[in-house]
Amino acid sequence: MALTHIQRWLLDGRVDPNVDDASFTSGRVALSWAGHWEYRRYHAAFGDDLVLVPLPDFGRGSRTSQGSWVWTMTKACRHPALAARFLAYLLETDQVLAMTAANAAVPATRSAIARSPLYRPGGPLHLFAEQLMEGYAVPRPKTPAYPVISSAFRRAFAEIRDGAPVQQALDRAVAVIDQDIRDNHGYQPVP
């Protein structure tokens, strides 16, 4: 199990636990497994010496996560034409670029990627766009329970990092997730 290996690396001192969020920027470690949101901070620390590399392929293909916040409208929207116009506006290249300049995320359209100084071909973060466009990204679960899933896993990972038995930490996370789904009646649409 991957988390058992990671825990062993942590307990053997092969991985800095990064509890101060400075293991990479302070130079204690040579590699950081992080996302695009860290680029500005990392670039400030290392300038043009910062290099983005793909995740390794341990024999089953290299994968990365995919997902972000989205804009949408409900079936019950009272003004669907106006909502659709607003969504179309948000998907204009200039608007996508404005949003990604603010949140540092990968631009949501190919036209915005092509114009983005960070994500266009040759840009320092192009690998993130390439991973999305070439099928290396695995989408987040499509469920309203995602915030609970993410939080429970984050908590389990912290426990595992601190030496808790891996299976017990994961079982606690599953119990939290299952309870949330039960509490919300399976997240079934309300008629």
Residue 182 falls inside a structural domain: no
Taking each helix axis from N to C terminus, what angle separates 80-90 and 93-103, rounded to the nearest 10 degrees? 70
For 151-171, what is each residue's pLDDT tens digit? 999 999 999 999 999 999 999
Range of the domain at 109: 63-140
Residue 106 falls inside a structural domain: yes
Q: Cα separation of 9 and 166, whole Å?
A: 13
Q: Cα separation of 86 and 90, whole Å?
A: 6
Residue 124 falls inside a structural domain: yes
Which of the four pLDDT bands, split at 50, 70 and 90, describes residue 142? confident
Residue 38 falls inside a structural domain: no
Instruction: Using the predicted structure, report yes or no on whether residue 190 has a pLDDT greater than 70.
Output: no
Query: What's the pTM?
Result: 0.80
For 26-63, what is each residue's pLDDT tens digit? 999 999 988 899 999 999 999 999 999 988 887 888 88
Which of the four pLDDT bands, split at 50, 70 and 90, describes residue 150? very high
Local structure of 2: helix, strand or coil:
helix
Q: Per the structure, how many domains does the chain have?
A: 1
Which of the four pLDDT bands, split at 50, 70 and 90, describes residue 68? confident
What pLDDT was estimated at residue 171? 98
Residue 30 falls inside a structural domain: no
Q: Cα separation of 21 and 56, whole Å?
A: 23
What pLDDT was estimated at residue 191? 62
Average pLDDT value for residue range 1-21: 89
Instruction: Using the predicted structure, report yes or no on whether residue 67 has a pLDDT greater than 80.
Output: no
Residue 7 falls inside a structural domain: no
Instruction: Using the predicted structure, report yes or no on whether residue 94 has a pLDDT greater than 80.
Output: yes
Residue 34 falls inside a structural domain: no
Going by C-alpha positions, the residue among 56, 3, 40, 42 that lies closest to residue 165 is 3
189 half-sphere exposure, CB direction, 13 A CA radius? 4
> At residue 128, what are phi and psi to the nearest 5 degrees?
-60, -45
Residue 85 falls inside a structural domain: yes
For 103-138, what is each residue's pLDDT tens digit? 889 999 999 999 999 999 999 999 999 999 998 888
Summary mean pLDDT of the chain = 91
Q: Cα separation of 93 and 40, whole Å?
A: 22
Q: Cα separation of 84 and 90, whole Å?
A: 10
